[in-house]
């Protein structure tokens, strides 16, 4: 992977990580267009690069994220991430196979788009959550009140919804936001909790892919860190990619919340449907 290719994929990741359009699906398609989709380092990069984007959440919402006296907030994040950890570990090989399938990505984008077109009507009157979970202007007392609306049970169920995103093209943010709305949380509240839930989820995925997972390469299996340090080019691409994804995601987070408040999910649903149809047509024509 060249530095330019790493930057392109990182920009795609930063723009799409927090949008309900599937960042993994977009990276799989982008790497396919670049002709590097089957490379082991590229597959590792597509997982680990998401940590750079996720860390943007920590910076943007640092006031909430580092309230260490509110231990229940962290406990609810742990409860919410448990389903993804269990299913991700049990079905790791199947997930790897799906990551190589552009058809699965295209179909997932299409089906998910249809769901998003109707999701606002399905949840027209979710339980209001004022103030929003992560609103930076709220006081500590108001944040505690917002946290109390999110029970441990709701956190776990949202985590079960997030498991759907193990299928490339589904979208982790879309699945967890829909899960939150299904649990009677407001649209904004659900979106913002999805942001926070992404931090432990992607941290665990990155640590696993870098330090524990065996990646199949010529000459035998290698750990992720061995792939990263195999060459100066890989190491540079990994570092630059995370920095670029982080910077782009800072912009995307603010955009998504503002857009969601005004327009809801319908536009994203239409985009996914159009992209899914185009990709299926390209696959049928032999371009992918």
Token code pair at residue 251 = 């912009």
Tell me what the mean pLDDT of segment 221-227 comes to: 93
Other beta carbons within 10 Å of 182:
17
- Our CA angle for 56, 14, 126, nearest 5°, is 75
pLDDT level of residue 130 (50, 70, 90 thresholds): very low
What letters, b where the CB count within 10 A reaches 16 and e where it falls short, cover 139-161?
A: eeeebeebbebbeeebbbbbbbb
Q: What is the pLDDT of residues 45-86, one digit of tens each?
A: 999 998 888 888 888 888 877 876 778 888 999 999 999 999
- Our CA angle for 66, 67, 73, nearest 5°, is 100
The total number of structural domains in the chain stands at: 1
CA distance 191 to 196: 9
What letters, b where the CB count within 10 A reaches 16 and e where it falls short, cover 35-45?
A: ebbebbbbbbb
pLDDT > 60? residue 230: yes
> What is the DSSP code (8-state) at residue 171?
-
pLDDT > 70? residue 98: yes
pLDDT > 50? residue 133: no
pLDDT value at position 118?
87
Highest mean pLDDT range out of 87-101, 126-140, 223-237?
223-237
Beta carbons of 53 and 17 less than 8 angstroms apart: yes
> What is the DSSP code (8-state) at residue 132?
-
pLDDT level of residue 124 (50, 70, 90 thresholds): low
Tell me what the mean pLDDT of segment 131-154 comes to: 55
Q: What is the pLDDT of residues 26-43, one digit of tens each?
A: 998 999 889 998 889 999
pLDDT > 50? residue 148: yes
Please give the residue that has the higher pLDDT: either 228 or 260.
228
> What is the DSSP code (8-state) at residue 164?
G
CA distance 252 to 256: 6
- Which of 83-97, 144-158, 181-195 bottoms out in mean pLDDT, i.e. has the lowest? 144-158
pLDDT > 80? residue 261: no
- 3-class SS of residue 220: strand
pLDDT > 70? residue 129: no
Q: What is the percent of the chain where pLDDT is above 90?
A: 44
pLDDT > 90? residue 12: yes
pLDDT level of residue 256 (50, 70, 90 thresholds): confident
Beta carbons of 194 and 174 less than 8 angstroms apart: no
Q: Measure the CA dihedral 108/37/10/232, to 10°.
A: 160
pLDDT level of residue 287 (50, 70, 90 thresholds): confident
CA distance 72 to 130: 19
Tell me what the mean pLDDT of segment 98-113 comes to: 89
pLDDT > 60? residue 135: no
Integer-rounded Cα radius of gyration of the chain:
18
pTM for this model (two decimals): 0.84
Q: Which residue range forms the structural domain that includes residue 54?
A: 3-285
Q: What is the percent of the chain where pLDDT is above 70?
A: 91
Q: What is the pLDDT of residues 181-199, one digit of tens each?
A: 888 887 778 888 888 898 8
> Residue written as tokens 């399905």?
122
């Amino acid at each position: 992977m060249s530095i330019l290719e790493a930057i392109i994929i990182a920009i795609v990741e930063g723009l799409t990580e927090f949008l309900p359009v599937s960042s993994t699906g977009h990276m799989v398609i982008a790497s396919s267009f670049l002709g590097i989709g089957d490379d082991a380092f590229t597959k590792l990069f597509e997982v680990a690069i998401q940590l750079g984007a996720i860390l943007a959440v920590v910076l943007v919402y640092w006031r909430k994220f580092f309230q260490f006296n509110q231990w229940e907030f962290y406990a609810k994040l742990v409860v919410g991430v448990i389903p993804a950890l269990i299913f991700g570990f049990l079905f790791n090989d199947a997930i790897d196979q799906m990551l190589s399938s552009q058809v699965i990505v295209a179909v997932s984008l299409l089906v998910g788009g249809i769901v998003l077109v109707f999701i606002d009507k399905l949840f027209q009157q979710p339980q209001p959550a004022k103030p929003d979970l992560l609103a930076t202007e709220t006081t500590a007392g108001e944040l505690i009140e917002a946290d109390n609306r999110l029970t441990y049970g709701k956190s776990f169920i949202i985590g079960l919804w997030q498991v759907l995103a193990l299928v490339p093209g589904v979208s982790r943010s879309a699945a967890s936001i829909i899960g939150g709305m299904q649990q009677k949380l407001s649209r904004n509240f659900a979106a913002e909790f999805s942001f926070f839930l992404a931090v432990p989820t992607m941290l665990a995925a990155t640590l696993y892919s870098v330090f524990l997972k065996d990646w199949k390469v010529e000459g035998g299996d290698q750990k992720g860190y061995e792939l990263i340090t195999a060459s100066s080019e890989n190491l540079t691409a990994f570092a630059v990619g995370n920095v670029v994804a982080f910077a782009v995601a800072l912009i995307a987070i603010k955009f998504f919340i503002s857009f969601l408040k005004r327009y809801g999910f319908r536009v994203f649903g239409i985009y996914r449907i159009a992209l899914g149809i185009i990709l299926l047509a390209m696959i049928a024509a032999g371009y992918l």
